[in-house]
Structure 1
Amino acid sequence: MIVVTGATGNVGRALVHRLLAAGRPVRALTRDPQRAALPDGAEVVRLRSDDPAALFGGATAVFLYAHPETADLLTAARAHGVRQVVLLSSAIIEEGADETHPIHVMHATVERQIRDSGLDWTFLRPGGFATNALQWAPQIRAGDTVRGVFAGALSAPIHEDDIAAVAERALLDGGHEGAAHRLTGPVATTNAEQVAAIGAAVGRELTFVEADPREAGTELYPHVPPQMLERLLRTFEESVGVPPEITDTVEKLTGTPARPFARWARDHTADFGGAA
């Protein structure tokens, strides 16, 4: 049995589908099983810290997101026989990184807890997610203009299913113990180019209109805590015109090249108001 936390998230959901297709039993943890809409083959369980046996009983491996409750989950998992953990971490963990950055602090803390747990571990450190472009979906469904910050910010966005494909291999194959896999998409693309690719996917010409981050930051990122927003915007600004890291890890570990952003856009046309 493999336990998948965050099973209704973009990566977790894709991983559940992959593990079931591989014939592996999956226990999908979610805070709202009634709304999970996961495949019938998955054992869907409410994430409750007061019943660890229901979460981890009979399981041998777990896929984790970085989360404030990770330490308690690790203790419960080990107590119930789990021996392997694959963590969805972040590419922000690297030599020379700003260790005071809130995102770094969160992921570095969880990585340390896992190293100290005594479990076999594998860390997945993806860069920018292609799914971050879903922030533009309401504007694209409403019209042909996307207002955002830093049109020239460069990244190599990775398809969520490519991350799930690497997680699948780390969970099912040997040889990944103690590895930290850095994952990216195959091509650098600007924010403006991503919007254009979404337009091509939905059959409309879209225009990216750059906004002043000092004025639009709170409006465009309402769910980002204020103490983190300034650092996040600074990170975006620092990526303008700067080529991002690009790895071939997805292809090396899965045998299939990472999918470009244009493919991700075509896979998500329905999210932007296009035909599925």
Structure 2
Amino acid sequence: MLTLVTGCRGRIGATLVSLLHRDGHAVRAASRNPDRLTDPTAAARTTPFPTAAGALPADVPVVACDLGDPTTFATALDGVDAVFLYAEASGIDAFVSAAEAAGVGHIVLLSSSSVLAPDAHGNPIAASHHAVERALTASPLTTTLLRPGAFASNAYQWAESVRARGSVDLPHPRSHTSPIHGTDIAEAALAVLTDPLLRNAAYHLTGPESLTAAEQVGLLAAASGRPIAVNTVTGAVWKKSVAPFVPGPIADALLAYSAAADGSPAEVTGDTEKLTGHPARTFATWAEENAAAFRP
């Protein structure tokens, strides 16, 4: 069985490729810019935060697949049995049609737990993921939905401020999430791709504990061996600070989410452990692994 993994410039996709390859499964790595998959230094030069993947196994074939460009779909899907798919709404109808034509049997979607929120209908983050979910579940393709919440790697957004000033600006320091380690997401994807009994279901993936943003900063301080101050700022100030890399509607949605979660513990599920076979990795583990990014 051949699996196509999209989004392989990111750590989750690249980790999944390595896991599939390690276990002897046929896998094809895909990216909008496939040349950067074979040149990790290119990814490092073009990525503002250290989230880009390292080198893939040398004998894994690489193919172009731009999820917003249907002209790339047929070649990428040729001979493919299963797909690990990122949620890009703009080309999803064409992707579903191409996958059906290619004989794909199973798609694992990296969705988002935002689709489960009461205000999902008005949230642009949830809306795009829900559109992809809807297109897939309405098709004859077997679809498995992975719905992680906050990624532990979201903390990279604080790295530049921590390195430069030793502080983090937060609009809601007491806002809770249950951050999940990217490796756990990749291992969950491996499980549902390789075990037929786990398919055709939806899984809400979380880390093992609910933490406030300030508590996450504290764990980063402990891991990096330096104090990190937390400055409470207004939503407007925070939105202006992230404007260069976060579109306004997305920033508004993130602000609304953090305000709603202020002082309210985040849900912690057992789905990560159910799929991976081990307790979810802690944010402290992620902080220790990535401490160098938060040092001068």
TM over 0.5: yes
Match of 1:57 among 64, 73, 78: 78
Give the stretch that moved more between structures: 117-126 or 67-76: 67-76
Partner of 1:176: 198
Is 1:13 the equivalent of 2:51?
no
Is 1:164 the equivalent of 2:197?
no
Give the stretch that moved more between structures: 95-104 or 248-257: 95-104
Query: Quick one: which amino acid aligns to residue 47 of structure 1?
Result: C
Give a deviation string over 1:213-268, Cα, whole Å, max 9, x none: 12221213432222332232111111110011101111122211101100011121
SS at match of 2:272: helix
Partner of 1:258: 280
| Displacement after TM superposition at 1:190 (Å) | 1.0
| Alpha-carbon separation, structure 1, partners of 2:30 and 2:223 | 33
Give the stretch that moved more between structures: 263-272 or 105-114: 263-272
Partner of 1:24: 25
Is 1:109 the equivalent of 2:131?
yes
SS at match of 2:144: strand
Query: Quick one: which amino acid aligns to residue 10 of structure 1?
Result: R
Give the stretch that moved more between structures: 199-208 or 127-136: 199-208
Conserved? CA contact 1:83–1:119, under 8 Å: yes
Give a deviation string over 1:70-91, Cα, whole Å, max 9, x none: 2222211221121100001111
Is 1:218 the equivalent of 2:240?
yes
Partner of 2:60: 42
Conserved? CA contact 2:9–2:36, under 8 Å: no
Give a deviation string over 1:28-79, Cα, whole Å, max 9, x none: 1112122223311321111253243320111100011110222222211221
Match of 1:197 among 219, 224, 238: 219
Conserved? CA contact 1:20–1:41, under 8 Å: no
Conserved? CA contact 2:211–2:265, under 8 Å: no
Give the stretch that moved more between structures: 125-134 or 140-149: 140-149
Q: What TM-score do you get using the length of structure 2 for normalisation?
A: 0.88
Q: Cα 1:183–1:83, aligned 2, differ >3 Å: closer, same or farther?
A: same
Structure that is richer in helix per residue: 2
Query: Quick one: which amino acid aligns to residue 4 of structure 2?
Result: V
Give a deviation string over 1:173-196, Cα, whole Å, max 9, x none: 011232000010001111111111
Conserved? CA contact 1:148–1:220, under 8 Å: no
Conserved? CA contact 2:87–2:129, under 8 Å: yes
SS at match of 2:269: coil
Q: What is the root-mean-square deviation of aligned Cα atoms in Å?
A: 1.7
SS at match of 2:114: coil
Correspondences of 1:149-160 after superposition (within 5 Å): 149-160=171-182
Give the stretch that moved more between structures: 143-152 or 111-120: 143-152
Moved over 3 A (4+): 95-98
Q: Cα 1:102–1:170, aligned 2, differ >3 Å: closer, same or farther?
A: same
| Alpha-carbon separation, structure 2, partners of 1:42 and 1:258 | 28
Partner of 1:242: 264
Q: Cα 1:270–1:258, aligned 2, differ >3 Å: closer, same or farther?
A: same
Conserved? CA contact 2:210–2:266, under 8 Å: yes
Query: Quick one: which amino acid aligns to residue 27 of structure 1?
Result: R
